[in-house]
Amino acid sequence: MLYVIGLGLSDEKDITVRGLEAVQSCERVYLEAYTSILMVDSNKLVEYYGKQVIVADREMVESESDTILADAQNINVAFLVVGDPYGATTHTDLVIRARELDIPVQVIHNASIMNAIGACGLQLYNFGQTISIVFFTDTWRPDSFYDRIKENRDLGLHTLCLLDIKVKEQSIENLARGRKIYEPPRYMTVNQAVEQLLEVEDKRGEKAYTSETLAIGCARVGTAEQRLISGTLQQLLDADFGGPLHSLVLVGKRMHELEAEFVKEFAVDRANFEEIVKKDYSH
């Protein structure tokens, strides 16, 4: 059996009971370690699960899936995913490959940012399409997310923005030269995401949002150190969210009054929050 197991959002104890039982039945356990991170070192997983954990980077998952699936017709193998296996990043490619090899697959779900974002006080069914924002470079500044945001905003829906992480990435020079030298990990902050959003709006000029658009910056959702800050995009530029992981929500114009009441509790400027809502949002 191949078990694809969600680990949740915080630490080694967020795994479900069923997930833990599955892990403990496995002869090999892999941890997918490039689309997201847990808030603890992988050694904590080893200690708590009582199993050695093989850290699987992008190269292994995308190019060496046969290694992960080897002999899984005869033994149990676990593939651990931060959040939910079918959450923000799906692993359908690995499941499809297992099926092609007639390996039984069982998926064990868990919390992901896609549902835990409800912690910000906005109703999940009022969210539109989720978008990803990647780090801009000097030569690559993609803005395809802008159209999705505009579609959501035109419908009055909230937009969850997932922010880029770079783990075990190579520089262009090292990649071109075939050198296995990796850059230090980088995690996009809410502040960086807002800077890029405003840059794209300046370029596109279609008013999908403005510097006065209400947004919620979210850090370490689902952990004891969770931090939520709401305000205009301009206000969030200088807010301190602490360490990773961060995400950002652009609030839709159909925000309900109960949502507004909840969001006000962690506003940068609580005294003027209602004025922001009255000016730009209808209940």
pLDDT tens digits, one per residue of 24-80:
999 999 998 767 777 778 889 999 999 999 988 777 777 778 899 999 999 999 999
Tell me the residue type at 240: D
Contacts of 282 (CB under 8 A, 6+ apart): 253, 254
Distance CA(39)–CA(261), nearest Å, equals 30
Q: Which two tokens stand for residue 67?
A: 């290694």
**What integer pLDDT is reported at residue 283 of this predicted model?**
41
For residues 122 and 99, is the Cβ–Cβ distance under 8 A?
no
pLDDT band with cut points at 50, 70 and 90 for residue 181? low
pLDDT tens digits, one per residue of 90-109:
688 889 999 999 999 999 99
For residues 163 and 188, is the Cβ–Cβ distance under 8 A?
yes
**What integer pLDDT is reported at residue 210 of this predicted model?**
94
Distance CA(133)–CA(166), nearest Å, equals 12
Distance CA(214)–CA(254), nearest Å, equals 12
In the chain, the percentage of residues whose pLDDT exceeds 70 is 91
pLDDT tens digits, one per residue of 110-141:
999 999 999 999 999 999 999 999 999 888 99
Tokens 């004025």 belong to residue: 275
Distance CA(90)–CA(186), nearest Å, equals 21
Q: 80 has which bridge partners?
A: 5, 31
**What integer pLDDT is reported at residue 226 of this predicted model?**
96
pTM of the entire structure? 0.90
**What integer pLDDT is reported at residue 60 of this predicted model?**
78
Average pLDDT score, the chain: 90
Distance CA(10)–CA(222), nearest Å, equals 6
pLDDT band with cut points at 50, 70 and 90 for residue 180? low
In the chain, the percentage of residues whose pLDDT exceeds 90 is 74
Region label for 156, one of left (φ > 0), alpha (ψ between -120 and 50) or beta (otherwise): left
Least confident piece of the model among 24-33, 133-142, 189-198, 273-282: 273-282
Cite the annotated binding site by residue number. Answer: 9, 84, 87, 112-113, 163, 221, 246
User: What distances in angstroms separate CA 17 from CA 14, 41, 47, 109, one per listed residue?
Assistant: 9, 20, 16, 11
Asked if residue 256 has pLDDT above 50, the reply is yes
**What integer pLDDT is reported at residue 66 of this predicted model?**
87
Contacts of 258 (CB under 8 A, 6+ apart): none
Beta strands in 164-207 (DSSP E): 165-166, 186-187
Residues in the chain: 283
Distance CA(109)–CA(156), nearest Å, equals 30
**What integer pLDDT is reported at residue 281 of this predicted model?**
62
pLDDT band with cut points at 50, 70 and 90 for residue 217? very high
Among candidate residues 187, 166, 169, the one with its CA nearest the CA of residue 241: 187
Distance CA(84)–CA(82), nearest Å, equals 6
Cite the annotated binding site for S-adenosyl-L-methionine by residue number. Answer: 9, 84, 87, 112-113, 163, 221, 246
For residues 132 and 161, is the Cβ–Cβ distance under 8 A?
yes
pLDDT tens digits, one per residue of 129-179:
999 999 998 889 999 999 999 999 999 999 999 999 887 665 666 666 666
**What integer pLDDT is reported at residue 175 of this predicted model?**
63
